[in-house]
Structure 1
Amino acid sequence: MLKVNPMATVDQAPGFSRMFRVGRLTLGVFFPIEAYAGDAASMRDQERLAQRAQALGYAALWVRDVPLRDPSFGDLGQIYDPWVYLGWIAAHTQTIALATGSIVLPLRHPLHVAKAAASVDQLSGGRLVLGVASGDRPVEFPAFGVDIERRAVLFRDYFETIRHVLESDYPTLTSTAGVLAANADLVPKPVGRLPMLVTGGSGQPLPWIAGHADGWITYPRSIDRQAETVARWRGEVHAARPGAFKPFVQSLYVDLADDPHLSPTPIHLGFKAGRHFLLSFLDSLHSVGVNHVIFNFKYGARPASEVLEEIGAEVLPALARAQGDMPVGGELEPSDAEVGDTLAPQH
């Protein structure tokens, strides 16, 4: 807890290994696990739903970092502070990964982020996967006294600071956030090497992300466009770290219909469809190299608890069979028009 584990690698982290394996697609879910109108969910029964997600075989539970209520943004996520809420959910679960999608680094002091992340990682038994972003809600930056034009520079500096203090004992560093002169140490340290994933571009060129992050969280797109994006990512990772596995993650809004055969219609950042199309779509994502899909049930017509159960009972087992080279069969291949070309990630 108080010392860096010099032998640890990211693939040994329990959260990372629960979520990511070469050639495999896993599923996660954003809090709130709830369908709701407006920007605020009720947040009722989330602990039980988190436990059900774990029991059903979902790989991860995701929180968001939305510090202020911006009426133009329209979604408060889980409302509660992400670190406090992760601690709460960690106490109600045992094995499912806990992920941030994503902490807005320019708005937070990197030492605070590092300490909070390492604390959650230790208290959860190494289950944290830290997604980070540069932020995309303009109202937040003046409120925190941060120049939005500097967010890309701050993001890179804070990312490197967090990495350094989590992986060094009594570090020496100088950053825009402050100075450490080997006379103080940040504790606790994470269980092992803490997985850090970058969301979107975060103001950085893709080669930098491929070289420094442990994975990439990006936009949901049509199958053809996502295939191109995955290929570009794999190419940059190979150039930066030949032989390394760095997962590719996307989010997806889903309104799962009662009728399992319902054809898809677009919704904001996703689609409404029956489970047969959903399974086919996920199978296509798997075939192009996507490693993890994060569901958001905000726009659902059905209770999210029902959707969570149906995906867990019907889609997850079928997806597992498909990844074991057993044919799924009977599903439609989604077209670009059915899914849409301009879907956005969660910050």
Structure 2
Amino acid sequence: MLDTTAMPQSFSRVFCEGRLSVGLITPLEAYPDSPFPTLKDHQQVSKQAEDAGFGSIWVRDVPFYDPNFGDAAQMLDPFVYAGYLAAVTERITIGTTGIVLPLREPVSVAKQALSVDRLTEGRFILGLSTGDRPVEYPAFNIDFEDRGERYREAVEVIRILSETRFPKAETLRFGTFSGNLDMHPKPVHGRLPIMAVGRARQPIEWLAKNVDAWIWAVDDDTAIREILTALKDAAGEGMPPAYGYSTFFDLDPNPDAPYQRFYNVVRIGRKALIERLLHHRDLGVRHVALNLKPSQRAAQSVIDEMGSHVLPALEAA
């Protein structure tokens, strides 16, 4: 976990004690009737999100289009796209939700993440998942049943390479480091923030002691309380990881519209949204990541209303 006395701004902008920030999941557009986004004007929309006061932009790792799943995300490689976003933004935190770590070689992930960290001048969070599409595993010749153990070992490799100079370590599934090689660049702020995305096949005890934040899809009040209690208990005397959740999101044009859920889509007016976010902040949620794919309104319109009304209300409360 992060040393909170030296917390990178990339992290504290998104996960700050006593506050709740809001981020956007790429692609930054509404495309409810297609699995493929247009990526039209995505440079301008990224800058609009930054100027509106969103805390983060999250890029997704979807190697293949699976027709049974029905969403190709932003289509572009997440690290390539994160590097691109680094050039068109200045302040907003850029992160991944999440790199499907068991499908990737961790030495390469470490190099790519540290490169984006340097390009963004330290405003990067590395989110790591085991993915939600089992059909991808055979394409990479990776054992689906081994994904949990592979995930844990790969996280350890990334930590070692990013935080240790000329490391010495032997791994079961990956390489051997003999103390004669050193990875550069090192993290801008001394440590690369690592976030678990989804449960990642890990017990609460492991998450509480090995990641700096955790984004899941669980936003039920009772479940949030149970999760936060479990993380605190498992962390012992240490600082538990910050908790946030992601959701498919449709901002109702009627500001008085109540909260509604349609399977995994939240539809809500801004007044009820503000009330809901403040309530979750008080429960201990630190970040909410919104996916605009099912939105009935253009992303620009949603971002404008959020920036004019919702985000300022969170700051003022």
Query: So what's the TM-score if we normalise by structure 2?
Result: 0.95
Where does residue 306 of structure 2 map in the other structure?
311
Rate the CA distance shift 1:92–1:165 in 2: closer, same or farther, 3 A.
same
Q: Please give the secondary structure, in 2, of the residue aligned with 1:316.
A: helix
Q: Is it true that 1:78 corresponds to 2:74 in the alignment? A: yes
1:1-347 equivalent positions in 2, closer than 5 A? 11-36=6-31, 37-175=33-171, 176-191=173-188, 192-237=190-235, 239=236, 242-244=237-239, 246-322=241-317
1:135 CA displacement: 2.0
Question: Amino acid of the residue matched to residue 220 of structure 2?
Answer: S
Distance (whole Å) between structure 2 residues aligned to residue 251 and residue 92 of structure 1: 24
Whichever residue aligns with residue 177 of structure 1, its letter is: F
Change in Cα spacing, 1:274 to 1:8, as seen in structure 2 (3 Å) is: closer
Q: Structure 1, residues 146-194: CA drift from partner, whole Å, max 9, x if none? A: 0101111100110100101100111111111111111112221121200
State the shift of 1:318 in Å.
Answer: 0.9
Partner of 1:337: none
User: RMSD in angstroms over aligned alpha carbons?
Assistant: 1.6
Quick one: distance in 1 between partners of 2:6 and 2:215? 17
Q: Secondary structure at the match of 1:75?
A: coil
Residue ranges of structure 1 left out of the alignment (5+ in a row): 1-6, 323-347
| SS in structure 1 at match of 2:266 | strand
SS in 2 for 1:19: coil
Counting matched residue pairs gives 313
CA contact (8 A) 1:10 1:193 kept: no
Q: Which amino acid aligns with 1:283?
A: L
The Cα shift of 1:67 comes to 0.6
Is 2:208–2:240's contact at 8 Å kept on the other side of the alignment?
no
CA distance in 2, matches of 1:15, 1:34: 24
1:175-222 CA deviation, whole Å, 9 max, x = no partner?
111111111122211212000011222121111111111111112332
Task: Kindly provide the amino acid, as one letter, of the partner of residue 282 in structure 2.
Answer: S
Shift of 1:35: 0.8
**Structure 1 counterpart of 2:202, which letter?**
Q
Deviations 1:228-249, CA, capped at 9 Å, x for gaps: 2222222222x1xx25252111
CA–CA distance in structure 2, aligned partners of residues 230 and 162 of structure 1: 26
Aligned partners of 2:246 and 2:291 also within 8 Å? yes
1:18 CA displacement: 1.4
Contact persistence 2:86–2:94 (CA under 8 A) = yes
Task: Write the deviation string for residues 99-149 of structure 1: whole angstroms up to 9, x where unpaired.
Answer: 100011110000000000000000110011011012221111110010101
In the TM superposition, what whole-angstrom CA distance separates every residue of 1:225-269 from its partner, at most 9, and x where no partner exists? Answer: 2222222222222x1xx2525211110222111110112322242
CA contact (8 A) 2:231 2:240 kept: no
Misfit runs of 4+, over 3 Å: 7-11
Tell me, which stretches of 5 or more residues in structure 2 are unaligned?
A: none
Q: Find the aligned partners of 1:123 and 1:88 in 2 and give their Cα distance.
A: 9
Q: Are 1:34 and 1:297, in contact at CA under 8 Å, matched by a contact in 2?
A: yes
